[in-house]
Amino acid sequence: MMATHTNKDSHNLMHIIKPNTVGAEIGVWFGNTSTQFLKKGLKKLYMVDPYSVEPYKENSEMTYQEYLAKYQPITGEFAEAGFQKYYDRVYTEINSRFRTFKEVEICRMLSEEWFKKYNDVELDWIYIDGDHSYEGCLRDLENALKIVKPGGLILGDDYGWPPLKPGVDNWSKAGVTKAVNEFINNNNLNKQMFRHGVTQFEIRV
């Protein structure tokens, strides 16, 4: 059974991000969290997101058609080509907003590609909010452990939601929770796992 510690006074993780640190964000989307990170005065921030429909085609927690139906109200488009155009527009906006930050490196690629390409990077912390399937999240966690410095942090979101219920949109929650639990148990990190607010987690490595 996993042992976790909850910081009830914290609604998010931003208070533990230190200035002049090197971090990576796996799963950027609209860049809202990135903006908060950059307010901390970072030395370097890698913003990693493929902005592609491809990862969802192999998502074990939700079929691709379910994914298309889920996001149709947001994009107003259902066809795959339409979704990719939407992702392209989001990326264009992200690139326009953040390319002027000298400490930012925008990496439009799958997380597993990024970990391979940047395997010599030493991170003070990493924030994982990308592939929410069990397999994808666990892969990101294991890869993160290889490049986060001893004493560094593996952070993330969407952990610890209630169990799946019929008709409830929580495809992303079960996979993340299962992956995090397995990761900390396999790596003897149970006592170094902390929760913040409702769904965010911190793992000290």
Sheet strand arrangement including 44-48: 5-7, 193-196, 200-204, 148-156, 123-128, 22-26, 44-48, 104-107
Q: Which residue has the tokens 């993340």?
A: 176
What is the DSSP-derived secondary structure letter of residue 110? Answer: -
Q: What is the pTM of this model?
A: 0.84
Full pLDDT tens readout for the chain, 205 residues: 344 444 443 347 889 999 999 999 999 999 999 999 999 999 999 999 999 877 666 654 556 666 667 666 665 665 566 678 888 999 999 999 999 999 999 999 999 999 999 999 999 999 999 988 889 999 999 999 999 999 999 999 989 865 555 544 444 567 899 999 999 999 999 899 998 878 899 999 9
- Angle between helix 80-98 and helix 64-75 axes, rounded to 10 deg: 60
- How do beta strands 104-107 and 5-7 pair? unpaired
Domains of the chain, earliest start first: 5-204 (3.40.50.150)
For Cα atoms 91, 169, 131, give the angle at the middle one, nearest 5 degrees. 40
Determine the pLDDT at residue 173.
63
Determine the pLDDT at residue 124.
98
Tokens representing 125 are: 């912390």
Dihedral, 125, 131, 134, 139 alpha carbons, nearest 10? -50
